[in-house]
């Protein structure tokens, strides 16, 4: 039996993982639960770990994994957010996705790998010469996907490291708080967390060494949303 705050936190983490592919920061969890300090979040996470609802990957930044949800969770808490597609893929998925071919009886698909995200080029330019990367179908959802290699450490606190490969669901829209591929001024591609502030758009890094940049909304175009991440060791 979970307390109300434990249940709220578990639900928030699960929703964030499904929407962005990475766990929320302690600051985001504190704000979502309206707590005064991050120490309360630490206690809640430890309690959820002890009960087998969460797993913490200590070798990675901001890496939480939801192991299970309470069986008696209210239906409202398990309801998907508007516009979110459950991460469940049927066997015929690859037959319906433009530009994607089956790799192994729908166990994996080949996605275009467009290059490094810090290349300073629009996605359209990166498409001129690209490789292929094999991705497990279970990591994807409906829609068209592509992959990009991460260059730099601006998103390390979101668990995204230099050299990682991010899987992006192509989209021209995104909600505030989601990690997106953004095209700035028709010339620069960047991976950042989106924050909407009135008629402006903030592109927020996940590293205190970098500053959040604020732009008029017409200078930023959403190219896609982060749904998964691959890492080689």
Other CB atoms closer than 10 Å to residue 48's CB: what's the count? 22
Q: Which of 79, 192, 200, 213 is catalytic?
A: 192
Nearest Cα neighbor of 166 from 216, 101, 117 is: 117
Q: Catalytic site residue 154?
A: yes
Q: Catalytic site residue 200?
A: no
Q: Which of 154, 170, 171, 176 is catalytic?
A: 154
User: What does the chain look like in DSSP terms, one character per residue?
Assistant: ---HHHHHHHHHHHHHHHHHSSPPPHHHHHHHHT-S-HHHHHHHHHHHHHTTSEEE-TTSTT-EEE----TT--HHHHSPPTTPPPS---TTGGGTSTT-EESSTTSEEEEEEEEETTS-S-HHHHTTS-EEEEEEGGG--SS-EEEEE--SSTTGGGT--TT-EEEEEE-S---TT-EEEEEETTTEEEEEEEEEETTEEEEE-SSTTS--EEEEGGGEEEEEEEEEEE---
As annotated, the active-site residues are 154, 192
């Amino acid at each position: 039996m979970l307390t109300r705050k434990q249940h709220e936190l578990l639900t928030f983490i699960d929703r964030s993982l499904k929407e962005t592919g990475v766990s929320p920061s302690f600051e985001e969890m504190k704000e979502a639960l309206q707590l005064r300090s991050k120490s309360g979040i630490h206690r809640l996470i430890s309690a959820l770990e002890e009960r087998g609802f969460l797993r913490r990957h200590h070798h990675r930044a901001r890496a939480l994994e939801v192991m299970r949800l309470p069986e008696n969770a209210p239906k409202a808490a398990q309801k998907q957010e508007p516009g979110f597609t459950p991460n469940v893929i049927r066997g015929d998925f690859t037959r319906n996705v433009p530009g994607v071919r089956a790799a192994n009886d729908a166990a994996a698909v080949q996605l275009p790998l467009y290059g490094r995200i810090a290349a300073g080029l629009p996605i359209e330019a990166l498409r001129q010469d690209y490789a292929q990367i094999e991705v497990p179908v279970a990591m994807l959802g409906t829609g068209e996907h592509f992959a990009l290699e991460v260059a730099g450490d601006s998103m390390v606190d979101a668990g995204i490291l230099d050299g990682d490969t991010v899987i992006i669901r192509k989209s021209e829209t995104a909600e505030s708080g989601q990690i997106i591929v953004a095209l700035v001024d028709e010339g620069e591609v960047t991976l950042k967390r989106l924050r909407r502030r009135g008629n402006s758009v903030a592109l927020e890094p996940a590293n205190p060494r970098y500053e959040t940049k604020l732009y008029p909304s017409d200078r930023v175009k959403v190219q896609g949303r982060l749904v998964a991440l691959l890492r080689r060791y």
